[in-house]
Amino acid sequence: MGNVGSDFVEGFNEVLKYGQLVRLKYFNTSFGAGSYYDDDVTLNQSGSDLWISGIVLPIDRARGSSDAMLLEQGKLLSNDTKLYLEGYIDTSGTFKVGLGSPPTGEYSVIPEGIIDWKVNTESVVNKLYVRRITTGSLMGEV
């Protein structure tokens, strides 16, 4: 019998192969000359784009779901999106998400919207709540 965490990761990754193509674009953050918290922020791309497969779902409004609770708390909007990615994917720092190839929309991650699910301390899946960026770029993106 194999490791439960590894078996689950392997099974979930198999499902992700049939998901939608997703592009992650990571950024380095730099602040203005004074480095004060309210200075303008500049975002410069860090490395190259990461293309992976993910599962994209609408927000679940069913009573009792975690999505519905976040909607009621005002943390999510009804047109936000849920995204599931492999557990090894880096979801820290500043990045934006493009859905599709070529991306049909650019999305920012909702601050409270990253959930790392683990099995036996092994990261299995990252669940991200994302919101469409109407301008196509993050504020300060160069």
- In the chain, where are the structural domains located? 4-132
Which candidate, 132, 115, 116, places its Cα nearest to that of 81? 132
- What the block records as the tokens of 79 is 């047109």
Per-residue pLDDT of the chain (142 residues; tens, 9 = 90+): 456 667 777 777 777 778 899 999 999 988 766 656 666 788 999 999 999 999 999 998 887 788 998 999 999 999 999 999 988 899 999 999 999 999 999 999 998 788 888 877 778 889 999 999 999 899 888 8
**Cβ-proximal residues to 139 (8 Å cutoff; 6+ apart), any chain:** 41
Determine the pLDDT at residue 51. 96
4-132 architecture in CATH? Beta Barrel (2.40)
Residue 129 CA to residue 142 CA, distance in Å, equals: 24
Span between the terminal Cα atoms of the chain, in Å: 50
